[in-house]
Amino acid sequence: MPITAGVANCSYCGATVGTLFSETSGTGVGEKAKRLGRVNESIDYYDKVEKAKERANNSVILALTSFFPLIGFFTGIAGLAFAIMAGRTLKAYNVEDGRGSATAGLVISVLGFIAQGGYVVYVIKSGNPFG
């Protein structure tokens, strides 16, 4: 019987014929897409973890500047926000590297807020903001 181009099995007797395409197996594009998807997931994971580590380091720097009068309040808020974001991301991905910096940024920011509060109390009681 004549066979149509691209058919893997004879429609008359069911015999397998020597064509390039099989009706039961895929074209292989699905597996390549899966591998590409895994690569993209790995890249996303790496990017998120690296950004979280960078935020953790920045939180420490911002937290240390939170001890300066007036401007320290704003840098303390930024340091606190960076520390919380970094800590959550690193905890979600179960990465230990950088979590110490995030915790340090959090603690130092809180201490900076306490220092800012002390400065405000000092200014109110003394009436002179510069000493």
Instruction: Give a yes or no: residue 27 inside a domain.
Output: no
Instruction: Give a yes or no: residue 19 inside a domain.
Output: no
Q: Percent of the chain, pLDDT > 90?
A: 56
Instruction: Give a yes or no: residue 15 inside a domain.
Output: no
Instruction: Give a yes or no: residue 119 inside a domain.
Output: yes
Instruction: Give a yes or no: residue 73 inside a domain.
Output: yes
Residue 34, token pair as written in the block: 């899966």
Query: Residue 76 above 70 pLDDT?
Result: yes
- Average pLDDT along the chain: 84
Query: Which range among 21-30, 75-84, 109-118, 119-128 shows the weakest confidence by mean pLDDT?
Result: 21-30
Residue 2 vs residue 88, higher pLDDT: 88
| Alpha carbon distance 7, 11 (integer Å) | 9
Query: Residue 3 above 70 pLDDT?
Result: no
Domain count, the chain: 1
CB-CB contact of 55 with 85 (8 Å): yes
Residue 78, token pair as written in the block: 């930024």
Q: What is the pLDDT of residue 35?
A: 76
Q: Give me the domain span that covers residue 97.
A: 49-126
For residue 52, give every residue at least 6 positions away whose Cβ sits within 8 Å of its Cβ, in sequence order, or none. Answer: 85, 86, 89, 90, 93, 95, 98, 102
| pTM for the predicted model, two decimal places | 0.68
Instruction: Give a yes or no: residue 100 inside a domain.
Output: yes
Q: What is the pLDDT of residue 29?
A: 54
Instruction: Give a yes or no: residue 14 inside a domain.
Output: no
Instruction: Give a yes or no: residue 60 inside a domain.
Output: yes
**What pLDDT digit, counting tens, does each position of 31-74 carry?**
777 777 787 888 888 999 999 999 999 999 999 999 998 899 99
Helix (H, G, I), strand (E, B) or coil at 16: strand
- As a whole number of Å, the CA-based R_g of the chain is 31
CB-CB contact of 10 with 24 (8 Å): no
Q: What is the pLDDT of residue 33?
A: 72
Query: Residue 131 above 90 pLDDT?
Result: no
Helix (H, G, I), strand (E, B) or coil at 76: helix
Q: What is the largest CA-CA distance in the chain?
A: 106
Helix axes 99-126, 71-92, angle to 10 degrees: 160
**What pLDDT digit, counting tens, does each position of 14-23 carry?**
676 665 555 5
Query: If we measure between CA atoms, which residue out of 9, 28, 29, 25 comes closest to residue 17?
Result: 9
